[in-house]
Amino acid sequence: MTATIPTTPYSNNYDETGSKRLIKSKVEKINTIDNQDKTRYINRKRNETMNIITAKNGNRLQHSVARDVIKHCIQKLMPRMRTLDINVVFKRIPKKENTVGTCLMQENNRDFEIEIEKKLSFDEMVKTLCHEMVHVKQYARNEMTDNAFKGVYRWRDRYIKENTSYSKLPWEREAYRKQKTLSKSYYNSTPN
């Protein structure tokens, strides 16, 4: 006698043998300190956690594009990382700060906040997100540590003084170099 798997819309609630044991949900809610609900997707068969990507402020299109670009960059730069928590905040950044985006490491090298100028064009937003994701990779892989309170940064195997010109910082050179290839590969991977 063979077991038949139900063909109802809820058939995914049955295991492979067709028994009525419910399979654990693949989504779990995580409450953070600021009571913002985040969703972490879990592949129960492999017991892998997946990256968390959230967006605040901005509009729906900005949120959607930000999540897509970040997923693409993770796939290209750090495909095996599954524990990143990246929060994108769209905000007005004063012109005197002379930047359109920043990457801030939070409590550990898996938790990041990316701030993006709210009024950027679509192309500039994609490039800026790609640039900041290179910095996420640098922190997450411990290629760079920020010891600014000591007046020095560690970049791979060497130390860089805090007063080094922005254009000569090796992590910025890498970010500018890779933002171009990442944004091109993002556009090539998305349907028109």
Model confidence band, residue 154 (pLDDT cutoffs 50, 70, 90): confident
Look at residue 127 and tell me whether its pLDDT is greater than 60. yes
For residue 104, give the DSSP letter: E
Segments in 21-99 forming alpha helices (H): 60-77
Is pTM, for the whole model, over 0.85? no
- pLDDT, tens digit (0-9, with 9 covering 90-100), for 68-104: 999 999 999 999 988 899 999 999 999 998 999 999 9
What per-residue confidence (pLDDT) applies to 93? 92
- Cα 157 from Cα 174, distance rounded (Å): 15
Tell the burial category of 124 from Cβ atoms under 10 Å away from its Cβ (0-12, 13-18, 19+): middle
Residues 6+ apart with CB under 8 A from 67: 53, 55, 88
Residue 16 has pLDDT above 60, yes or no: no
Q: Distance (Å, rounded) from C-alpha 42 to C-alpha 28?
A: 8
Average pLDDT over residues 101-118: 92
Domains of the chain plus CATH, in order, are: 51-187 (3.40.390)
